[in-house]
Amino acid sequence: MNRIHPRITCDVCGRVNIVGTRYACLVCEEYDMCEMCFSYRCRSHQHKPYHPMQAILPEDEFFDSLRRVGPNELRIYCCPYCGEKGLSVTGMIKHLQRFHHFGGHPVRCPICLVYKMRNRHLLKTTLLQHLLGRHKEECVPRRGPPQAQCAPECSICMDPMTMMSSVRNLQCGHQFHSGCISNWLMNSSNCPLCRANVGARGHTIATIGYLEMF
């Protein structure tokens, strides 16, 4: 099994083509460590030991895990704000909504890094906005056949919008829990799904006519 990260250099010891688990800093721009330097908690003028690091498996090992459990069940992601580990994509969203709704300092997306996507630089938005806009397909749990009268989910909190929910419609047509979207619009003027500029506009309806499913 190939355990090499091609063309990735450890920014501490200078080793080219890191072997084994690679550690990418989620705060520094383009900063990587090999396993040995990470274990010694090395630092530099740019990188500090307390910066959260995303562990990135070699490609063969990663895709083997992906085939076994599916993208939404991978609990491998690290929160770039507080360093919480072992999060799935959905778990990351709920964690961010609870503890880091408004973000903070610029960070890198751990999902983009793990999947080796092009967007591996510091984000210009909060991580929560980025996840809901870019990684929506990984955020939705796999489902069986559709059920009759199944309540739709609020895409912000991932909980169902039931008959007793207070729901808000945005101008773009997307619906969310009133409390969820109100908090979102305090920090962003764009719809979390389609990114349309909606400002604080929208209207609230008391119920949406779906039966709560148990």
Is this prediction's pTM over 0.85?
A: no
Q: Give the mean model confidence (pLDDT) for residues 3-14.
A: 90
What would the pLDDT profile of 146-173 be if each residue is shown by its tens digit? 444 455 777 777 777 766 678 888 877 7
pLDDT at 199 over 80: no
H helix intervals, the chain: 35-39, 59-69, 89-99, 110-114, 127-134, 136-139, 178-185
Of the CATH numbers 1.10.287.70, 3.30.40.10, 3.30.230.10, 3.30.1370.10, which one belongs to the domain with range 150-198? Answer: 3.30.40.10
All structural domains of the chain with their residue ranges: 22-135, 150-198
Nearest to 212 by CA among 155, 156, 153: 153
Distance CA 162, CA 189 (A): 26
pLDDT at 60 over 80: yes
Q: Which residues contact 143 (CB under 8 A, 6 or more apart)?
A: none
User: Residue 35: its pLDDT value, please?
Assistant: 92
